[in-house]
Amino acid sequence: MVAREAGWADKFAAAKEVDWKSFAASNLIGLLWAGNWSFVPLPGAAYRWFGYALILVILALPPALARMKKEEEDWTGAAFLLLFPAFFSAAMAAHQVQNVLAGNFDTMGGWYWSALFPCNAAIAAFSLRFLLRNFFETGLRALVLGAWALSLWGGLAVLLPHYTGMPPGRGLAESLRRISQLNGLPVRAVPGVLAAEAACLAGILLYSRREVRL
């Protein structure tokens, strides 16, 4: 059946075929790491700790908004941000039903959720400000550094061995050589690219030394 020709009865029937538990897991995992087109996963511990952090952020959000309201801050804007992931989740669910109708049972949310990264980051920041209080700015910088380190580690230690067949523990020199092969860059240029990325991160952290107001 062509998905666009399906009626409501067909869509409800297709919705019953969806593995919603797997759908939710893939979307939550996608918030942390998509793993490129091969969906290369991180070690399970990374997702476990991310899950703990995500639960903590979600639980802290209601009291964070209540505190903002009590202190007469503009909490309505923060609450309004929640509509974006809510409607986006509904759209992703509808997309999954369309996939079932089209004969494809899998939807990986990581690719799509990146569009809402600024919104989700702001929502998480409201919770973090409530949880960390006076240590919010320091915690925010640590979180940025951690995200960058995770991305770098995932690229070098997870994706690179997967795509090149490089055994673990071959060293930085071999990693740089294989990165240069994948990107068509001279080996000497790869450290410069990584250094430029680190410089951009340092600039963000220096800029964030200004008072953060949410």
Structural domain span for residue 184: 3-207
- Enumerate helices (H) and strands (E) in the chain, giving the number of each: 11, 0
The reply to whether 100 falls in a domain is: yes
The reply to whether 113 falls in a domain is: yes
Cα dihedral angle (185, 178, 183, 180), rounded to 10 degrees?
-10
The reply to whether 212 falls in a domain is: no
Smallest Cα–Cα separation from 207: which of 137, 152, 146?
Answer: 137
The reply to whether 143 falls in a domain is: yes
The reply to whether 96 falls in a domain is: yes
The reply to whether 213 falls in a domain is: no
Q: How far is CA 210 from CA 25, 138, 146, 206, 213, in A?
A: 37, 12, 20, 8, 9
Per-residue pLDDT of 154-167, as tens digits, reads: 877 787 777 777 76
Position 203 scores a pLDDT of 73
Position 207 scores a pLDDT of 64
Query: Coil, strand or helix: which one is 187?
Result: coil
CB neighbours of residue 210 within 10 Å: 8
Domain count, the chain: 1
Position 109 scores a pLDDT of 61
Query: HEC states along 63-130?
Result: HHHHHHHHCCCCHHHHHHHCHHHHHHHHHHHHHHHHHHHCCCCCCCCHHHHHHHHHHHHHHHHHHHHH
Give the Cα separation of 186 and 171 in Å (integer): 18
206 has a pLDDT exceeding 80: no
Per-residue pLDDT of 147-193, as tens digits, reads: 888 887 887 778 777 777 776 666 566 767 777 766 667 777 777 77
Q: Helix, strand, coil: what percent of the chain each, to 5? A: 75, 0, 25
Percentage of the chain exceeding pLDDT 70? 80
Q: What is the mean pLDDT of the chain?
A: 78
Q: How far is CA 122 from CA 4, 20, 119, 191, in A?
A: 36, 27, 5, 32
- For residues 51-79, one letter each, b for 16 or more C-beta atoms within 10 angstroms of the residue's C-beta and e for the rest, the string is eeeeeebeebbeebbeebeeeeeebeebb
The reply to whether 90 falls in a domain is: yes
- What confidence tier does 59 reach under pLDDT thresholds 50, 70, 90? very high
Position 169 scores a pLDDT of 60
Q: Name which residue leads in pLDDT, 128 or 39.
A: 128
pTM exceeds 0.75 for this model: no
